[in-house]
Chains A and B, each alone.
Chain A
Amino acid sequence: MTMLHIVNKSPFEKTALDSCLRYAQQDSAVLLIEDGVYAALRGTSLSEKMRRALETVKVYALEPDLKTRGMDQSRLLDGVELVDYGGFVDLTVAHDIVQSWL
């Protein structure tokens, strides 16, 4: 069974991303949306943790939410893939289970 984890809270403020990464199995996918996209930034106090996570899980970030917050691909950690709304739908279809870490 493949799982898509969706995180929409800022990793600097809430523990949703921490918990998600603690329980995410190898080769599952993590989609960062809304304030969750801040976790994808490079050069932050969380970048090292994210870099380690990227070795075992695939990380996506929702581009509309990233741009809304004044960021783009150039500010992101290597390995994070941007998706648009269509890509969001594709990800939910491609995985057996979707878990939203509210």
Chain B
Amino acid sequence: MTDETMLEEDGHSGGVVKKFLYVNRRAPYGSIYALESLEVVLIGAAFEQDVSLLFLDDGVFQLKKGQDTAMTDMKNFSPTYRALEMYDVEKLYADRESIEQRGLTEDDLIVPVEVLSRDEIKDLMAQQDVVLSF
């Protein structure tokens, strides 16, 4: 994609808008999944689809505040979750059980999310056109 094709910031491509759910289930840093998922979400944002992100299982660790990669010399990509809003990705959800099982609370998370129960997540998944799991 070139800057030119992305220039259409006022209108949209006129294509069909589908509901996309990205399910993030991996801890950051231990594998490439979390970072790759984030990149796909940011690239996909240019297509103006109806995007939701769900943080499930170890995926909730992606949102832990205070990540400090100075000692491991890795790229700290956690600040990028705060940019999602500017990409019009505003529907962020996290699984309550996953948060609680990991000794976390909502205060530990770097961005505000809507915390959902298991049944609410079943419904969320059922409403989608496309579900992508990382």
Chains A and B bind each other: yes
Among B30, B65, B72, the one with the most A-chain Cβ atoms within 10 Å of its Cβ is B30
Using known A-B contacts A10-B58, A68-B74, A69-B64, determine if residue A44 contacts B101 with beta carbons closer than 8 Å.
yes
Report yes or no: B103 in contact with A13, Cβ–Cβ below 8 A.
Answer: no
Category for how many chain B residues contact A: 20 to 34
**What's the least CB distance linking A48 to chain B, in Å?**
12
Report yes or no: B101 in contact with A45, Cβ–Cβ below 8 A.
Answer: yes
Report yes or no: B68 in contact with A70, Cβ–Cβ below 8 A.
Answer: yes
**What's the least CB distance linking A61 to chain B, in Å?**
13
Among A8, A34, A69, the one with the most B-chain Cβ atoms within 10 Å of its Cβ is A69
Question: CB-nearest residue of chain A relative to B64?
Answer: A70
Contact residues of B: prevailing secondary structure: loop
Is A95 on the interface with B (CB-CB < 8 A)?
no
Report yes or no: B29 in contact with A69, Cβ–Cβ below 8 A.
Answer: yes
Report yes or no: B30 in contact with A8, Cβ–Cβ below 8 A.
Answer: yes
Q: Which residues of B contact A42 (CB under 8 A)?
A: 103
Report yes or no: A34 in contact with B29, Cβ–Cβ below 8 A.
Answer: yes
Using known A-B contacts A13-B57, A64-B71, A67-B71, determine if residue A35 contacts B78 with beta carbons closer than 8 Å.
no
Is A73 on the interface with B (CB-CB < 8 A)?
no
Is A75 on the interface with B (CB-CB < 8 A)?
yes
Residues 4-28 of chain B, each 1 if its beta carbon lies under 8 Å from chain A, else 0: 0000000000000000000000111
**What's the least CB distance linking A102 to chain B, in Å?**
12
- A34 CA / B68 CA spacing, docked (Å): 14
Question: CB-nearest residue of chain A relative to B78?
Answer: A70
- A39 CA / B58 CA spacing, docked (Å): 12
**What's the least CB distance linking A51 to chain B, in Å?**
13
Report yes or no: A12 in contact with B58, Cβ–Cβ below 8 A.
Answer: yes
Closest 3 A/B residue pairs (Cβ): A43-B103, A35-B30, A64-B71
